């Protein structure tokens, strides 16, 4: 048998091609396995980050609920004080020119602002003013909670917990 026999050459060629084919198949199989492991690892990391983000958002939601509850309690106390007369709401007003001279010798009572004329608001007007201010406060609290949540999520996604 000679090396130049076509059957020997064909056998050598089939052996070389089958070894390359087997190596290619094994390499592609190993690559698929490696990619599956990498995907599983990245999914586990994503789930861990997701848990951190969920807990951060839940913490912010709890803080927001507590702030809202505290605001409700303060509103109830204030409204009760307004209704009972313990809290009186006064605003400064411009006094009309009075032809009767006011004596300079009168001393202002404690808490008086030195003779400045003040008008007392009705209980309903005071409650309405406070309600408007409370709506603004609630919006600011919600905005601050959103900003803080956004910053926590951003830092977590950057990799800085």
pLDDT band, residue 32 (cuts 50/70/90): very high
pLDDT band, residue 4 (cuts 50/70/90): confident
What per-residue string of b and e applies to 100-121 under the rule 16 or more CB within 10 Å gives b?
A: eeeeeeeeeeeeeeeeeeeeeb
pLDDT exceeds 60 at position 114: no
State the Cα angle at 124 between 118 and 127, rounded to 5°.
Answer: 85
Per-residue pLDDT, averaged over 121-127, amounts to: 86
Q: Is 82 left (phi over 0), alpha (psi -120 to 50) or beta?
A: alpha
Sequence ranges of the domains in the chain = 6-93+117-158
pTM: 0.57
């Amino acid at each position: 048998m000679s090396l130049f026999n076509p059957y020997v050459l064909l056998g050598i060629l089939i052996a070389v091609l089958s070894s390359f084919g087997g190596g290619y198949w094994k390499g592609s199989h190993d690559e698929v396995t490696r990619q599956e492991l990498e995907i599983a690892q990245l999914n586990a990391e994503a789930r861990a980050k997701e848990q951190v983000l969920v807990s951060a958002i839940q913490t912010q939601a709890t803080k927001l609920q507590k702030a809202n509850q505290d605001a409700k309690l303060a509103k109830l106390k204030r409204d009760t004080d307004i209704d009972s007369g313990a809290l009186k709401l006064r605003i400064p007003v411009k006094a009309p020119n009075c032809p009767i001279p006011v004596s300079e010798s009168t001393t202002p009572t404690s808490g008086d602002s030195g003779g400045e004329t003040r008008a007392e608001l009705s209980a309903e007007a005071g409650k309405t003013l406070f309600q408007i201010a409370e709506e603004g406060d609630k919006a600011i609290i919600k905005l601050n909670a959103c900003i803080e949540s956004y910053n926590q999520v951003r830092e977590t996604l950057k990799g800085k917990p």
